[in-house]
Chain A
Amino acid sequence: MKFISRLADILPGDTRADRVVPPSGFTVGLTVFTAGAMAFLAVFALALSLASGRLADRWSDALARTATIRISAPEGQMQAQTDAVMAVLVTTPGIADARVLTVEEQRVLLLPWFGPDLPVEELPLPQLIELIEDDTGFDGDSLRLRLAGEAPGAVLDDHTRWRRPLVAAAGRLRLLGWISIVLIGATTAAMITLSANAALAANERVIRTLRLVGARDLYIARAFVRRFTGRAIQGAVIGTALGVLAVALLPSDQSAGGFLTGLGFQGWTWLWPLGIPVLAALVAYGATRAAALRVLRGYT
């Protein structure tokens, strides 16, 4: 809170204090450009992270609550084993619903691989049963044992094998997005520190004069901190606006495009980029203040 109150203290500015530092210098453009470029990249990293998060949640939610039982049995036993499986499922705790997939539904599932003309009725396809869990979930191992006893041709597939790597991949992608944002912040801090050091070195005479007439270190540091924080906010606002515009112009979310067309913000998450200029201001404030106070300790 002390940090925030200090930041709030300097943001309104003291025009006379600001004037003690000469206004020009190459660090002006450098800081604005750095903050702008980093904010632009941060918008994309944020969009990536949020999209990955949505994907992970979607996969996780959609797959976690469903499972499939595949019954492979000789033609004469198929119906009997299907009935036996349904009977087992009715008495299994944690299953909210179970239904046998129709021939038409199986045809739709096979459509991407075999086309519309596949004579499903004539093929020895296994019978599929879809299960939907309730909130408590079912015990997969116990169900497998019961199915082995009642319907030897039934195999439970709870999607765990392929769901876990997908969810883990999406989770890692989300983590990478956040790590990118942290790295962007750290790079911004490093660039602003370099710019601040250059500005402090270029204004050695100004600093000596201010110390001579009784200026405290914090007074001198604030003049630099205000300037660099202001420049960082200015650059970050421009970079964020351009980044958001670029994300908005990406192709809209279409299932055919998969993950790539889902890269962006949805609903209230469009507000998240507003935090980037604030983050840039905090980074610039901390970096410049630390650099200024460190350099000023070298002056008597």
Chain B
Amino acid sequence: MIEFDKVTHSYGGGELLSDITLRLTKGSFHFLTGPSGAGKTTFLKLCYGELFASSGSVRVGGMPLRDLDRDSIARIRRTIGVVHQDCQFLDHLPLDENIALPMTVAGFEDMRHSDDLKDLMSWVGLSKQASALPPQLSGGERQRAALARAVMMDPDVILADEPTGNIDWEMSMRLLQLLVELNRMGKTIVIATHDLNLIRTAKAQVAARVLRIKDRRVQLAGADL
């Protein structure tokens, strides 16, 4: 699905990530961990083309991102759902329009009244908040809404950057369950987090691999987690 081939990413004269070679295969579940500033967000951004490798190559579906034009990058992003810690909603639009946004920008017909959208909002437990504006939602609701938006286009890959960073444990578990369900549907999941309890809980439910960023390199974490 996503391949890193000797990828190095530099910023401001220093290397943030160095010589990374790995493959995120279809249907896999990965945690990406490491201390703050280790490069977790950078790694995710390299996956969906918000950043580009300084050397080496990142390929999505076999296509090297750096060789693609801006429109092609936009199309690639429709196959990758991204959940950010701060969610990035359009605050002036109601929640249902925010969740349907990937379909809207892709030129699909109005999804606001579609059964798919209703099912999706019901799945993340936000049916009653359809017409609420994002600032009116709690942290947990916003994260679930962000997840719903990420899966709206039925992407192959879901990247989540500290999705449980701003929510309580109960809500974190609920979000994790949703991600595990998606993985069981065949989606590739990558979650960047420094929450080791979340990783331990997830490993009890799903065959997750844990990648750790240490000294600018990505390593497979051992039994210490």
Q: Hey, which bits of chain A sit against chain B, CB under 8 A?
A: 16-17, 19-20, 22-23, 205-206, 208-219, 297, 300
Contact = CB atoms under 8 A, between A and B. Distances in A.
A27 to B, nearest CB: 15
Given A212-B77, A214-B78, A214-B105, A20 B70 contact: no
A208 B74 contact: no
Given A213-B101, A300-B49, A300-B50, A19 B93 contact: yes
5 contacts: A20-B105, A209-B88, A213-B101, A214-B74, A214-B78
Interface in B83-104: 84, 88-90, 92-93, 97, 101-102, 104
B92 A23 contact: yes
Contacts of A213: 77-78, 101-102, 105, 149
Contacts of A20: 90, 93, 101, 104-105
Contact of A209 (B52, B89, B107): B89
B75 interface: yes
Interface of A is mostly: helix
Contacts of A210: 101, 105
Contact of A22 (B49, B51, B92, B102): B92
A19 B105 contact: no
Given A205-B88, A212-B88, A213-B77, A19 B70 contact: no
A206 B50 contact: no
A205 B87 CA distance: 11
A56 B84 CA distance: 69
A201 to B, nearest CB: 17
Contacts of B74: 211, 214-217
B171 interface: no
A13 to B, nearest CB: 14
